[in-house]
Amino acid sequence: MIGHQIALIKRELWEHRAIYVTPLVIALIVSIMAVTGQVVLSAFDHEVSIAIIGASNLGATERAAAITVLLAGVSSLLVMAMWVLTVFYSLDALYAERKDRSILFWRSLPCTDAETVVSKLLTAAVVIPLITFVVVMLTHLIVLALASLWLGFQGADAWHLIWRAAPLPSNWTATLVFLLALPLWLSPFIGWFLFVSAFTRRSPLLVAFLPIVILPLLERSLIGTSLFFDALFVRTGSLPLFRGLSTGEIFTYQGDDWSVGDRLPSGLLSLLDLSRFFGSPSLWIGLLVCGLFTTAAIYVRRYRDDS
């Protein structure tokens, strides 16, 4: 069973090389942008010196926050790419094998349809995020290494300014949790896409997205409600994984002066609220919907006679 899953998932990676090529290309682009940015910045000698002095005078918390914001920007590019990748992968997963008729070969082997569909679901919901996570770490290291090199040339102390300040373990753990939580939260879409890719005879992209556009309009004009739209809106909005920061954590009042406080959480991990996430009924409803669509996809692959 587990042996089959590993083999099936490996097969998905052979077929869909975009799963690891895309994030690597983005990593490359970010690295090139980092280098170009540094070359351009170097033209402003005076300002750079002032900025470095400024940075050196910042407290550890502020430096950590600055680096976290920079790295989170890099991560968000990769997260967006991951979601696009997940959409296209899930829509192709059970469609391509029917289009090229290789499904007849796959089905001649002793793998069940459930095993196959589950391997595709796992690829979309777990493998793609894990690969993205590895590339996120890699990109962070490259960007920070490039920044250190550049700071070194500027005569600054990169160890002090960057490596000691960057809360990498906390940020990375938070990124991993987020990357794994996102597909869970969006799982009804993944299930729907897999189902579409299992049943549609043409253009899965269109078939998948048309109902998402048309159903809310129909509901509005026919019944006058907007339940479907609201559900979509909640689902595509932010996931209930984060806790809010109170003002008191960001700023502290010392004497007559407001300043960025020492209570500012260092690293992203402290911003996550897993009990809120797993306590959210929306998450579980979504997972149930995903389960139903996946079962339907298995059923279609198993019982439909295409001839």
State which residue, 238 or 307, has the beta carbon closest to another protein: 307
State which residue, 7 or 50, has the beta carbon closest to another protein: 7
State which residue, 11 or 276, has the beta carbon closest to another protein: 11
As measured in angstroms, the least distance from the Cβ of 23 to another protein is 20
Tokens representing 158 are 């990169």
As measured in angstroms, the least distance from the Cβ of 86 to another protein is 20
Could you give the C-alpha distances from 114 to 4, 53, 241, in angstroms and in order?
Answer: 11, 60, 31
State which residue, 101 or 202, has the beta carbon closest to another protein: 101
Alpha-carbon gap, residue 208 to 204, rounded angstroms: 6
As measured in angstroms, the least distance from the Cβ of 203 to another protein is 20
Residue tagged 């389960």 (tokens): 291
State which residue, 12 or 150, has the beta carbon closest to another protein: 12
SS3 assignment, position 107: coil
CB 165 within 8 A of CB 64: yes
Backbone angles phi, psi at 266, to 5 degrees: -95, 125
As measured in angstroms, the least distance from the Cβ of 132 to another protein is 22
As measured in angstroms, the least distance from the Cβ of 92 to another protein is 12
Site of interaction with another protein (CB under 8 A): 3-4, 6-8, 10-11, 14-15, 97, 100-112, 303, 305, 307
SS3 assignment, position 37: helix
In the DSSP assignment, the letter for residue 162 is: I
Quickly list H helices, 186-307. 187-199, 204-222, 227-236, 247-250, 274-279, 281-303
Tokens representing 234 are 């909640």
Per the DSSP assignment, residues forming a β-bridge with 258 are 253
Alpha-carbon gap, residue 177 to 172, rounded angstroms: 9
Alpha-carbon gap, residue 266 to 174, rounded angstroms: 12
Backbone angles phi, psi at 28, to 5 degrees: -65, -45
State which residue, 106 or 228, has the beta carbon closest to another protein: 106
Residue tagged 């409600």 (tokens): 225
As measured in angstroms, the least distance from the Cβ of 305 to another protein is 5
State which residue, 8 or 79, has the beta carbon closest to another protein: 8
Give the N- to C-terminal CA distance of the chain in Å, as an integer.
30
State which residue, 18 or 77, has the beta carbon closest to another protein: 18
As measured in angstroms, the least distance from the Cβ of 102 to another protein is 4
As measured in angstroms, the least distance from the Cβ of 295 to another protein is 17
